[in-house]
């Protein structure tokens, strides 16, 4: 009985050892990184400080006056906290300009590029904060 249990544990350990790539974290492949979409005067509906990625939900009036609801994911909570984000950076009702990389699916979801707060403060995403899709120079570590 011990031999069978040990064999099962060894088999599971062996499978886990050769399968890490299947558990790899997703990248930005789902987003169109060619040019950020700019949503000026967007109103924060919800800001969820959650793992693995905080979410920003905004209402945005398009040029026709129709309200669109966009959901944007940021870098990880740990990564963005290192460049100044906190669980209280945004609150419902805040008026912001948000730059995001649109989902290739056409849904109103995206990956954060940067946010400009009402006072002019620029909050960038850690991985894709530069306007051309490259990493932004955050000045961290200087």
Residue 104 lies in a domain: yes
Number of domains composing the chain: 1
Residue 117 φ/ψ, nearest 5 degrees: -75, 165
* Pairs from 58-66 (Cβ < 8 Å, separation ≥ 24): 58/96, 58/98
Between residues 120 and 33, which one has the greater pLDDT? Answer: 120
Residue 78 lies in a domain: yes
Residue 61 lies in a domain: yes
Parent domain of 53? 37-124
Residue 19 lies in a domain: no
Residues 79-106 pLDDT 10s: 999 999 999 999 999 999 999 999 999 9
Determine the Cα–Cα distance for residues 105 and 128; give it in Å rounded to an integer: 19
The chain-wide mean pLDDT, for the chain, equals 82
Residue 137 lies in a domain: no
CATH number at residue 82: 2.40.50
pLDDT-wise least confident of 26-35, 56-65, 129-138: 129-138
Confidence check: pLDDT of 20 > 50: no
Structure tokens at 54: 């905080």
Residue 109 lies in a domain: yes
Residue 10 lies in a domain: no
Spatial CB neighbours of 88, under 8 Å, sequence gap ≥ 6? none
Residue 81 lies in a domain: yes
């Amino acid at each position: 009985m011990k031999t069978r249990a040990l064999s099962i544990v060894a088999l599971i350990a062996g499978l886990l050892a050769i399968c890490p790539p299947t558990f790899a974290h997703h990248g930005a492949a789902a987003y169109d990184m060619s040019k950020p979409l700019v949503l000026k005067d967007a109103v924060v509906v919800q800001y969820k400080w959650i793992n693995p990625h905080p979410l920003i939900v905004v209402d945005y009036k398009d040029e026709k006056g129709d309200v669109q609801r966009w959901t944007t994911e940021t870098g990880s909570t740990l990564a963005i906290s290192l460049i100044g984000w906190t669980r209280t950076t945004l609150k419902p009702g805040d008026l912001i300009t948000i730059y995001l990389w649109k989902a290739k699916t056409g849904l109103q979801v995206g990956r954060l590029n940067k946010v400009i707060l009402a006072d002019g403060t620029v909050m960038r995403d850690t991985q894709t904060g530069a306007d051309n899709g490259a990493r932004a120079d955050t000045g961290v570590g200087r």
